[in-house]
Structure 1
């Protein structure tokens, strides 16, 4: 079975953790352990988030006195793809001796007229208190919004239209290679209408929506979205909170999940199932094997009453 795995940014750097290299290496070793059992039985493509990492690089770039202007988000996204891709490659190499593994810097085409550029929603970077966040917004021209535990920077998150390296990923898979790609949703680019020339854009694409598009293009059987909770919860944070064990795309879309957290994951799972008739699931990293085998997580299945 071909499985596209989407790792949440918090699977690599947990909320409140120091963004040290050693901390991220330890977390990625845990990722490799969780995915190795799946890789022995199935064909894997691994994608990952980069919200904490790109936020850190953006803050460092803003504060670097050697620069006349901070690095744009597309290039910072490419840096995180390389860094996280290298960490994942090394960890998966150790967990799967003799297995072919390749990390690919991936570019994702977006539309120049996407309304997301006018309404930033994608959280990046660390959590701040309200006074610190507002001060940074004034000083650096950031947009900020409230996250679950505080305030964070938000940036544009246009919809992914096409992954430019899909054919290369296909060839790698056909050669028996485990592929790590589309990190952070891919490097966002636009294409000139006349020449096709690519230009990077100031944005961070939602990695779950890119993973759903990738899974569709690769004709994957299963989209596995791994995060820091074991299920999708209805009534999350209320006295009526309870796990959702399975759902259809239509049921997910009526769930009212927050746009800054579970909403994009639910939408990505719904799109993949609707477009392909395959299965998707959302759950905790450490339960990856159990989720695929139906023993944990929230399963999203086709609505057999539609059509």
Structure 2
């Protein structure tokens, strides 16, 4: 099978962990081991988030102060190289002799996308309410919102329209022995100026939505979205909440999920299956191989007879 695996940035730097290189390296090493278990039997195209990393780079930029800070598109490109390099190295260590390739990609967006007026994508570290007030005072142009019991910066997340390097990616994955890393952070956000030239955009692309566009473009069989959750839960946090094991796209439409977290993941999986994908799934990185076989996570398919089945 050709499998697109979308790995959340918070799985690389987990909530509450210090934003340090060695912490990230350790998490990437563990993630690579889980991904390698799938890559030994299937062709894997790996994408990843970059929320904590791009937020950290933004803080470093703001702290420097003497020059104009680098915009988010440039910071996104930096995280593609940094995270991609680490994943490529660790995957090569897990699979000696296998070809692993990292490609920097750009994602085209609509400059009139309403997301620019309503930022909702979390980036950077989490703060206590008290610390967030100080951070907001230091960066008055930032927008802060609640992320669980913490506060965190949010930025615009426009819808991905096109992956500009798609034809090159198709050429690479024609060799089924290559494990490909691309679409980091959803790709570097760009728009076309009136003269047709490409221009960077101050935003962050949701990596799950971009991964869906990628998966369809390369005709993947499966889309796996992996993070630190075991499965998709109905009425999350409520007494009647249930973890979904199998579900059809139509049955999933009946539930509502948070726009800044689970919502884009569910949306991407549902659209992928509706547009011809065999299966999509959301679950824990630690159980990646079990998710692919339907023994863990939440699996979205068109052929679930009951419409929805819950874990007991």
- What's the TM-score once normalised by structure 1's chain length? 0.96
Offset at 1:193? 4.0
Query: Given that residues 127 and 149 in structure 1 are in contact (C-alpha distance below 8 angstroms), is that contact kept between their aligned partners in structure 2?
Result: no
Offset, 1:304:
8.1
Question: How far apart, in 2, do the equivalents of 1:129 and 1:31 lie?
Answer: 28
Give the whole-Å Cα distance in 1 for the aligned partners of 2:5 and 2:39: 11
Q: CA deviation at 1:286?
A: 1.0
Indicate whether 1:263 and 2:263 are aligned: yes
CA distance in 1, matches of 2:171, 2:44: 14
Deviation of 1:303 after TM superposition, in Å, equals 6.6
Question: What is the SS of the residue equivalent to 1:93?
Answer: helix
Within-5 A mapping of 1:26-105: 26-65=26-65, 67-105=66-104
CA deviation vs aligned residue, 1:230-254 (integer Å, no higher than 9, x gap): 1111121122222111112232232
User: Which residue does the alignment assign to 1:184?
Assistant: 185
Q: Which runs of 4+ in 1 moved over 4 A?
A: 303-306
Number of residues of Structure 1 aligned to a counterpart in Structure 2: 304
Distance, in Å, in 2 between the alignment partners of 1:134 and 1:116 is 24
In the other structure, the counterpart of 2:275 is 275
CA contact (8 A) 2:145 2:151 kept: yes
1:1-307 matched pairs, under 5 angstroms: 1-65=1-65, 67-140=66-139, 141-175=141-175, 176-194=177-195, 196-302=196-302
Structure 2 gaps of 5+ residues are 308-312
**Residues 270-298 of structure 1: per-residue CA shift (max 9 Å, x gap):** 11111124210001001111111111110
In the alignment, the residues of structure 2 paired with residue 52 and residue 254 of structure 1 have an alpha-carbon distance, to the nearest angstrom, of 31
Q: Distance in 2 between matches of 1:193 and 1:249?
A: 38
Q: Retained in 2: the 8 A contact 1:253–1:266? A: no
Judge conservation of contact 1:146–1:152 (CA < 8 Å) in 2: yes
**Superposed displacement of residue 35, structure 1:** 1.0
Q: Render the CA deviation track for 1:194-235: whole Å, top value 9, x for unaligned.
A: 4x3110010000000000010000000000000101111112
- Structure 1 gap ranges (5+): none
